[in-house]
Amino acid sequence: MQKITILIHCKDQKNIIASVTTFIAQVGGNITYIDQHVDVEQNVFFMRLECEFANSEITIESFKADFDKTLASKFDMSWDLYSQEQKPKMALFVSKYDHCLFDILGRYSAGELNIEIPVIISNHNDLRWIAERFDIPFHLVPFTKDNKDEGEAKQIELLKEYEIDFIVLARYMQIITPKLISLYENRIINIHHSFLPAFPGAKPYHSAFKRGVKIIGATSHYVTEELDEGPIIEQDIARVSHIHSVEDFIMKGRDLERIVLARAIKLHAERKTMVYSNKTVVFS
Amino acid sequence: MQKITILIHCKDQKNIIASVTTFIAQVGGNITYIDQHVDVEQNVFFMRLECEFANSEITIESFKADFDKTLASKFDMSWDLYSQEQKPKMALFVSKYDHCLFDILGRYSAGELNIEIPVIISNHNDLRWIAERFDIPFHLVPFTKDNKDEGEAKQIELLKEYEIDFIVLARYMQIITPKLISLYENRIINIHHSFLPAFPGAKPYHSAFKRGVKIIGATSHYVTEELDEGPIIEQDIARVSHIHSVEDFIMKGRDLERIVLARAIKLHAERKTMVYSNKTVVFS
Amino acid sequence: MQKITILIHCKDQKNIIASVTTFIAQVGGNITYIDQHVDVEQNVFFMRLECEFANSEITIESFKADFDKTLASKFDMSWDLYSQEQKPKMALFVSKYDHCLFDILGRYSAGELNIEIPVIISNHNDLRWIAERFDIPFHLVPFTKDNKDEGEAKQIELLKEYEIDFIVLARYMQIITPKLISLYENRIINIHHSFLPAFPGAKPYHSAFKRGVKIIGATSHYVTEELDEGPIIEQDIARVSHIHSVEDFIMKGRDLERIVLARAIKLHAERKTMVYSNKTVVFS
Amino acid sequence: MQKITILIHCKDQKNIIASVTTFIAQVGGNITYIDQHVDVEQNVFFMRLECEFANSEITIESFKADFDKTLASKFDMSWDLYSQEQKPKMALFVSKYDHCLFDILGRYSAGELNIEIPVIISNHNDLRWIAERFDIPFHLVPFTKDNKDEGEAKQIELLKEYEIDFIVLARYMQIITPKLISLYENRIINIHHSFLPAFPGAKPYHSAFKRGVKIIGATSHYVTEELDEGPIIEQDIARVSHIHSVEDFIMKGRDLERIVLARAIKLHAERKTMVYSNKTVVFS
């Protein structure tokens, strides 16, 4: 065990910080980064730590057992531990839009994302050629009203086969089933092409154009059963004016979608996001 | 007649630009600025011109008559002419919030706004002292459900008395009556403390906080009978995160409100806005 | 001849706008977009027009001849005419950094850029595989102090062979020779990884980190003989703080470089930029 | 003693966080906020804590003595403690520009700034009327080449008389003497009207206009003996284009100056800034 990231949340109580930091010190760890937050209204405490264990004999298993016994039970914590050496495995769900796919694969190839992308799943064959260019397995999983159960079963089978940690919907444009959502709770990231909660649903650029807004946006969020209502991870905006047509909105929006989604992937992969009350704490 | 600004809109037709620019040249004017826009979808043409008439004997009246006869009737134009020498007169409606009032009067005193502010009207006495500090007449016009007619009558009387060209609601927090709206169509500017159309109505910062957005905004728009649905003039945004409380949202929002409202006032005063289909063309 | 774009600049004079718009109308064209600017200080007039010639028999050659005779000589104009049907041909110069190359080719493949990319030229073989993935001819042209003349000759030969209209240096990292600059005056676009004029030269992210700035930037500009001093086309920025290392600056900067360069390419390809006094007029 | 803020910096060492948090817990305090940073390159550790002492009998004096003995000496810390109940006292230095002064006094009157402003000092009488409107003592302290010593002496006398904690130069436009800088090290805040380090010195808007930049900025920094080279606290930017004159740059810049300076004042007043190596750590 060398470098780990720990995420904790629990009811806010006295002396949590002191207790956790003392524990880490006692087992031979050095805290290299600490972030903490208290939601005063809801009385919830959040913490993210990065620790190094140089020359320590402690294993992840014994650390976990100790932490559970000593701290987690005492403060009634929900907590997770991640080795920084292990890259999370991300599945890409795509449909027909290629700009987010190109952007993610470009970043991936350029070594910008500390993840693995073992598989791309799509309900159409249109983007297969891109997957092939980047040497990533591409699976066609048709998904319509009529074959929902079959499609879902195939998706889940592939996610298991490739040992997927989290899913990114790169303009996938299809409903994700409740079963898949519950299997990957807070681990499915979507990019919505509007500044949520403005313009939810389909054709947001058309609605934004009609309303005459001066700023458009994009929103990356975790997928929940309520469409476009999941916890927001990241948002960004671009200015528009009367000179821009709906097509211009769409074109400007593509840049927003690319960047907002890429940022959300990075934050999730680095374990910098925590979810509660349908909101996120993002330690960035 | 020296420097004028002309605003034109009409159905898009061939040769409008050539016809208008030729007319100006023929009557001895020099075009110093031209802006034009075509809404392709709705087939509407918009134009804004600034012209100088050095050594020209032409009067505004004869120019207007000529323009109407030669061009406006031919192309079925709606058009307006403004002398750049005349400062528009703006009435400020306020209630209890002081930050937009301070900002506008600070800019006004610093000579940043090419307007006159002959009167401040409020439904409360709380901000009278600020008006007095800046030597601007302050009128208390109570406005409640029970005295709506009386309040409206008093407002209109004051607007006439001070020869008001346009009205700015600097966080006025009261409904404007349909009669007043129709008297000042597209000449009442409101500042809404959210990124419309997200979070319309009251307490938008609380709603934004609850939804967990990562960006908040403010919107300046012309007032129409549909609450918070009028044509948007200007918007801007600020980043927020989990560390910010509702109070932080409100505080950050105040800066947005100040700046977005100040920009909208400037654009309107310089005749750079045109309204159609519940949207604005802003030549900036 | 169907749709054309015209760029004009000359000494500011009375009645230019009226004269040009009347001319277009007389030869059967309809102006669909007009943008104009006067640099008051230097007394220079700029204009960009988009015109349609439906059912017109006029050829580009006769239009050019007429315009020259009737207008250009009278007002002493510099002017250019571009058919909107012809896509400009862009050569990409790259070296070892791949993020801008991936981004441009992703956009190109996604149909976002109205250009052709017939060739990629590099002084290293590192990025050859990317060019091959996107089926674009890749030429290795070594370029060092010792082979400058030979390298320049080879570059120019390739540019002629592929009939290149403009060059984009996608983090090319090599000096462009004065001869090549003069052959492609105001047609070589560079991306500099700082907010010029701050931090010119090499290692700007390191300098920015050392100075403790809170905002970093990227700058796209036309290449002139003065290094990093050419006319700026586009800039953008990103916030940084004490938590970011030099490596974080570089990573955030990559997103800026991608977007700023992509915007500059688009503006140039759509003939929206004009250069004078080492500055640009950008009609966007 | 109820609510305190502690700022610590020292050489990075193992177990600092655990030691400090344990100490606070042992003396009956509850940590409500913790921020920490390590400059890996220079091996410096920074920490900011907010603590509450409900029902604790401990005094600030005994806490300080204990902390010094137990921790500060052991880790060789530089540290400061501030009571959150005490508002810092800020002196405003102004000259002839009024926009920052109006903005600060507007915010101050609106209760946005948790400070006291007991005095305004100026080398001209131009802005005296504004100070009087806001009922703040105004002192004329002429400051020229010829009376530098006298001026400095008078300034220092006033700062002592009003027990000033920190100084804000709201476009003061005069050199601050080395003696005054050393008396108020890292406690004099200046607003520079450019995106430093671009365009240092006088007339930055003119230089920015000449260079043809597409973005202008403003920078708030602590004053050091090197002009415009002190540690940067906050920066922000605004877009400009060819349509903007130098006067437009200045007008847009005023909004930047207002906001950037207001943010820096707030950060400093809330003890969220720490200075080292001519840079700032800003815990915001």
Q: What is the pLDDT of residue B25?
A: 86
C214-220 mean pLDDT: 97
Q: Is the dihedral of CA A80, A84, A86, A92 positive or negative?
A: positive
Of B102, B112, B254, the CB nearest to D251: B112
Cβ-defined contact of A279 to B242 (cutoff 8 Å): yes
Q: Please give, rounded to a whole number of angstroms, the shortest distance from the CA of B135 to a CA of chain D.
A: 10
pLDDT digits (tens, 9 = 90+) for D93-106: 999 999 999 999 99
Query: How many beta-carbon pairs below 8 A join chains A and B?
Result: 82
Cβ-defined contact of A33 to D38 (cutoff 8 Å): yes
Q: What is the mean pLDDT of chain B?
A: 93
User: Within this chain, do residues A59 and A95 fall inside the same structural domain, yes or no?
Assistant: no
Largest CA-CA distance found in chain B, in angstroms, rounded: 65
Regarding pTM above 0.90, the answer is yes
Would the pLDDT of A279 be above 80?
A: yes
B37-50 mean pLDDT: 91
Count of positions (residues) in chain A? 284
Give C198's contacts in chain D (Cβ within 8 Å).
195-198
Q: Please give, rounded to a whole number of angstroms, the shortest distance from the CA of B154 to a CA of chain A.
A: 34
Q: What is the pLDDT of residue B56?
A: 73
Whose tokens are 């009367």? That residue is A242
Q: How confident is the model at residue B179 (pLDDT cuts 50, 70, 90)?
A: very high
Q: Please give, rounded to a whole number of angstroms, the shortest distance from the CA of C135 to a CA of chain D.
A: 35
* Helical segments of chain D, H only: 16-26, 60-67, 73-75, 99-109, 128-133, 148-161, 178-183, 204-211, 246-269
pLDDT digits (tens, 9 = 90+) for B105-152: 999 998 899 999 999 999 999 999 999 989 999 999 999 888 999 999
CA angle D204, D206, D209 (to 5 degrees): 110
Question: Residue A281 corresponds to which tokens in the numbers above?
Answer: 């704490």
* Three-state DSSP state, B209: helix
User: Within this chain, do residues D107 and D62 fall inside the same structural domain, yes or no?
Assistant: no
**DSSP string across B14-60:** TTHHHHHHHHHHHTT-EEEEEEEEEETTTTEEEEEEEEE-TT----H
* Three-state DSSP state, B112: coil
Question: Residue C142 corresponds to which tokens in the numbers above?
Answer: 């070594």
Cβ-defined contact of C211 to D231 (cutoff 8 Å): no
Interchain contact D241–C (C-beta under 8 A): yes
Can you state the angle between helices A246-269 and A204-211, rounded to 10 degrees?
130
Last residue of a domain, one of C53, C83, C113: C83
Instruction: State the CB neighbour count (10 A cutoff) for residue C198.
Output: 24
Last residue of a domain, one of D83, D100, D134: D83
Of D24, D32, D36, the CB nearest to A34: D36
User: Within this chain, do residues B15 and B133 fall inside the same structural domain, yes or no?
Assistant: no
Give A25's contacts in chain D (Cβ within 8 Å).
14-15, 18
D239-243 mean pLDDT: 94
Contact C60, C83 (CB under 8 A): yes
Give D25's contacts in chain A (Cβ within 8 Å).
14-15, 18
Question: Residue A30 corresponds to which tokens in the numbers above?
Answer: 């050095």
pLDDT digits (tens, 9 = 90+) for D36-90: 898 888 899 999 999 988 877 788 899 999 999 999 999 999 999 999 989 999 9
Task: Using a pLDDT cut of 90, give the percent of chain D over it.
Answer: 80
User: Within this chain, do residues D149 and D171 fall inside the same structural domain, yes or no?
Assistant: yes
Q: What is the pLDDT of residue B1?
A: 63
Q: How confident is the model at residue C1 (pLDDT cuts 50, 70, 90)?
A: low
Q: Is the dihedral of CA B95, B99, B102, B105 positive or negative?
A: negative
- Give the structural domain span for C185: 89-282
User: Within this chain, do residues C74 and C99 fall inside the same structural domain, yes or no?
Assistant: no
Q: Among the listed ranges B70-74, B188-192, D12-16, which one has the minimum average pLDDT value? A: D12-16
Residue D40 maps to which CATH number? 3.30.70.260
Interchain contact B79–D (C-beta under 8 A): no
Residue of chain B nearest C283, judged by CA positions? B35
Q: Which of B35, B66, B228, B248 is catalytic?
A: B228
A80-108 mean pLDDT: 94
Last residue of a domain, one of C59, C83, C107: C83
pLDDT digits (tens, 9 = 90+) for D150-202: 999 999 999 999 999 999 999 998 889 999 999 999 999 999 999 999 999 88
Give D278's contacts in chain C (Cβ within 8 Å).
212
Q: Which distant-in-sequence residues (6+ apart) come within 8 Å of A264 by Cβ?
A: A189, A191, A220, A233, A234
User: Within this chain, do residues D95 and D71 fall inside the same structural domain, yes or no?
Assistant: no
Of C110, C134, C254, the CB nearest to A98: C110
User: Within this chain, do residues C32 and C68 fall inside the same structural domain, yes or no?
Assistant: yes
Helix and strand numbers (H, E) in chain A are 9, 13
Cβ-defined contact of D112 to B251 (cutoff 8 Å): yes
pLDDT digits (tens, 9 = 90+) for B195-233: 999 999 889 999 999 999 999 999 999 999 998 999 999
User: Within this chain, do residues C210 and C134 fall inside the same structural domain, yes or no?
Assistant: yes
How far is Cα C176 from Cα C169, in angstroms, rounded to an integer? 10
B156-176 mean pLDDT: 96
User: Within this chain, do residues D64 and D202 fall inside the same structural domain, yes or no?
Assistant: no
Question: Residue B275 corresponds to which tokens in the numbers above?
Answer: 């309204």
User: Within this chain, do residues D110 and D16 fall inside the same structural domain, yes or no?
Assistant: no
Query: In the annotation, is B228 catalytic?
Result: yes
Residue C143 maps to which CATH number? 3.40.50.170
B interface test, pick of D102, D133, D249, D267 with most B CB neighbours within 10 Å: D102
| Distance, C-alpha A87 to centroid of its chain | 14
Cβ-defined contact of A195 to B199 (cutoff 8 Å): no
Q: How confident is the model at residue A57 (pLDDT cuts 50, 70, 90)?
A: confident
Cβ-defined contact of D30 to A36 (cutoff 8 Å): no
Interchain contact D228–B (C-beta under 8 A): no
User: Within this chain, do residues A141 and A33 fall inside the same structural domain, yes or no?
Assistant: no
Q: Which distant-in-sequence residues (6+ apart) come within 8 Å of B72 by Cβ?
A: B79
Cβ-defined contact of A33 to D36 (cutoff 8 Å): yes
C73-91 mean pLDDT: 95
Task: Using a pLDDT cut of 90, give the percent of chain C over it.
Answer: 81
B245-272 mean pLDDT: 95
Would the pLDDT of A56 be above 80?
A: no
Q: Please give, rounded to a whole number of angstroms, the shortest distance from the CA of D130 to a CA of chain B.
A: 9
Q: What is the pLDDT of residue A41?
A: 85
Interface confidence (ipTM) of the complex: 0.93
* Burial grade of C222 (CB within 10 A; 0-12, 13-18, 19 or more): buried
User: Within this chain, do residues A77 and A197 fall inside the same structural domain, yes or no?
Assistant: no
Q: Which chains touch C (3 or more CB pairs under 8 A)?
A: A, B, D
Largest CA-CA distance found in chain A, in angstroms, rounded: 65
Interchain contact B109–D (C-beta under 8 A): yes
Count: domains in chain B: 2
Phi, psi for residue D231 in degrees, rounded to 5: -60, 130
Give A262's contacts in chain C (Cβ within 8 Å).
255
Give A134's contacts in chain C (Cβ within 8 Å).
133
Q: Please give, rounded to a whole number of angstroms, the shortest distance from the CA of D272 to a CA of chain C.
A: 12
Give D98's contacts in chain B (Cβ within 8 Å).
109-110
Of A195, A234, A284, the CB nearest to B198: A195
Pairing of strands A3-11, A78-83: antiparallel
Q: What is the mean pLDDT of chain C?
A: 94
Q: Among the listed ranges A54-58, B33-37, B261-265, D111-115, which one has the minimum average pLDDT value? A: A54-58
Would the pLDDT of C26 be above 80?
A: yes
Of C198, C234, C236, the CB nearest to D198: C198
Contact D46, D39 (CB under 8 A): yes
